[in-house]
Amino acid sequence: MVNLLLNKFGLISRSQVKQELQFSRSIGKRLDEHRQFVENIEVHTDVFLINHWHIKHMAEMDDYLATLYHLVYGIWPNKNQKTTGSTRQFVRQRPKILNAYCSLEQ
């Protein structure tokens, strides 16, 4: 009932946002997989050495996914723990190569 009323005014509840964003895999899982992908690119290829702009692109994607995580769970992914707060999701630490381009206040 509340969602119908909110939708009438062009608004959406946090629970509806969370439900819509959590299809297939959770935001935490997607963020963790993105970070793993960046680590693999850095270790197994020279893409970041040849095209530096890819680092900035990957950093912006990391910021985007971390922001979605924050919107869904109300907390930022914790860099120091294997699980983040009450979400109980493993989110690996942000790859160091991306830190120069971080635009978020975490």
| pLDDT given for residue 70 in this prediction | 87
Both structure tokens of 45? 């290829």
| pLDDT given for residue 72 in this prediction | 83
Quick check: is 17 in a domain? no
Is the per-residue pLDDT at 65 higher than 90? yes
Q: What is the pTM of this model?
A: 0.78
Helix residue spans in 1-106 (DSSP H): 2-8, 14-21, 27-44, 47-50, 53-73
| pLDDT given for residue 44 in this prediction | 97
pLDDT band at 22 (very low <50, low <70, confident <90, very high): confident
Mean pLDDT of the chain: 84
Quick check: is 90 in a domain? yes
Check residues 105 and 99 and name the one with the higher pLDDT.
99
Quick check: is 92 in a domain? yes
- CA dist., res. 90 & res. 13, Å (int): 26
Quick check: is 9 in a domain? no
- Asked if 94 and 34 touch (Cβ cutoff 8 Å), the reply is no
Q: Considering its fold, how many domains does the chain have in total? A: 1
- CA dist., res. 93 & res. 44, Å (int): 19
pLDDT band at 79 (very low <50, low <70, confident <90, very high): low
Quick check: is 69 in a domain? yes
